[in-house]
Amino acid sequence: MAEFEFETEGVKKTFTFMNRKAPYGTIYALEVLETVLISAAFEQHANIIFVDDGVYQIKAGQDTTAINMKNFSPTYGIIEMEKEDADEDDDIDMVWRIIVEKESLDARGLTEDDFKVSVEVLSAAEIADIVDASDCVISG
Amino acid sequence: MKFGILVNEGPFTHQASDTAYQFAKAALEKGHDVPRVFFYYDGVNNANKFSAPQADDRNLVKLWGQLAAEKNVDLVVCVAAGQRRGIQDANLADGFRISGLGQLVEAGMGCDRLMMFGD
Amino acid sequence: MLHTVNKSPFERNSLDTCLRLAKKGSAILLIEDGVIAAIKGTAQSAKIEGAMGDHAIYVLGPDLKARAFSADSVIDGVKVVDYAGFVDLAEEHGTHNAWL
């Protein structure tokens, strides 16, 4: 059985995490989030992007009691903290962006004020450029 | 070129694992490397040794295992996703190993391309 | 960037979102049920027809054949590739962006 050793010393890539699905109907939102957190341990750059129904993942006020599922939305607060720590610490070379697509917001009647975390609201064209420049894209 | 592969779905219910396998096979035939295939979400079910499809159908679990053995492909099942879905050492098919999500990030960092197959 | 779309435009909005978020000059490969987007004469054909000017569009031959489509049923200008061609596209076009 192979156990490949990668050369990752000094490697700095940009991962785009593309979130397009509402939370709880499927597990993809949660399991992508777990990958985002792991990428922090490797100090990789990340674009955490919410598009289509993915914008609902960060909507404030989720109450999962009656569906008996774990409310994982507080974890987005940890993502935000990781980002802020990286932004403030000159010793950490890790650029994280939390981005929401304007077209997806408008289609759903949402604004930035609906979210638990601070986001950059960008147009589809701006997001296209950012994603095009990334090295890996992971979505659920 | 080094291709890392991420498989998001289990065998049979979705075509993702088949497409990933066909891609991996084609890449290897062209002389590329496929150092790691990472199985996440329901993709961990590709490592269930008790999968027993009909005799006249492809056996994806075995096909992946053969690729690992013949072509030195590292098949990694995510430990957390595996635990949720009951994939553990006791039912792990030949050729697979269980490890952390960091192995996926590492594959993204160390490969030239990270290909993703899902639903 | 190489974009793949694996779901039919009749089933899901993945193709719409891909076309909205793919930077001009991308390569787009339709695979699995996504090959349906490449078929002439459907209510969804205009999406790929309209995208031809901005992107290079490909469709995976094995998935066409499996669904009983011949190369003749494919929108003009969409190129049919096999799995080896898929690998070539991945090599040539950089990062893979899978629209599911």
Domain ranges within chain C, ordered by starting residue:
2-99
Which tokens is A70 given?
A: 């774990």
Read off the pLDDT of residues A58-72 as tens digits, 9 standing for 90 and up: 999 999 999 999 999
Residue A1 lies in a domain: no
> pLDDT, tens digit, for every residue of C26-60?
999 999 999 999 999 999 999 999 999 999 999 99
Over its length of 119 residues, how does chain B's per-residue pLDDT go in tens digits?
999 999 999 999 999 999 999 999 999 999 999 999 999 999 999 999 999 999 999 999 999 999 999 999 999 999 999 999 999 999 999 999 999 999 999 999 999 999 999 99
Longest CA span, chain C: 33
Q: How many domains are there within chain A?
A: 1
The complex's ipTM works out to 0.98
pLDDT for the residue numbered A3:
65
Which of C17, C23, C95 minimises the CB distance to A20? C17
pLDDT for the residue A1 = 59
Position A4 pLDDT exceeds 80:
no
Q: Does the distance separating the beta carbons of B1 and C62 come in below 8 Å?
A: no
**CATH number for the domain that contains residue A83:** 3.40.1260.10
A4 closest CB neighbour out of B36, B102, B116: B36
A63 touches chain B (CB under 8 A): no
User: Chain A interface, mutation test: which of C4, C6, C18, C21, most A Cβ atoms within 10 Å?
Assistant: C21
Assigned token pair, C57? 């569009």
Residue to test with chain B: of A4, A13, A18, most B Cβ within 10 A: A4
What residues contact residue B8 under an 8 Å CB cut-off, 6+ apart? Answer: A140, B16, B40, B41, B42, B43, B116, B117, B118, B119, C100
The confidence score (pLDDT) of residue A7 equals 86
Radius of gyration of chain A (CA): 16
> How confident is the model over A7-39, as pLDDT tens digits?
899 999 999 999 999 999 999 999 999 999 999
Write out the residue range of the structural domain in which residue A100 sits: 14-139
Domain C2-99 has CATH 3.40.1260.10: yes
Domain B2-113, CATH number (from 3.30.200.20, 3.40.50.300, 1.10.1070.20, 3.40.1260.10): 3.40.1260.10
Give a yes or no: residue A73 inside a domain. Answer: yes
Measuring CA to CA, which residue among B68, B27, B28, B29 is closest to residue B46?
B68
pLDDT of residue A140: 81
pLDDT tens sequence across A93-129 = 999 999 999 999 999 999 999 998 999 999 999 999 9
Single out the catalytic residue among B20, B37, B73, B78.
Answer: B78
Nearest CA in chain B to A14: B109
Sequence ranges of the domains in chain B? 2-113
- Contact flag B116-C96 (C-beta cutoff 8 Å): yes
B111 flagged as catalytic: no
* Assigned domain for A76 exists: yes
- Whether B111 sits inside 8 A of A6 (CB atoms) is yes
- Which tens digits make up the pLDDT trace of C51-83? 999 999 999 999 999 999 999 999 999 999 999
Is the per-residue pLDDT at A5 higher than 90? no
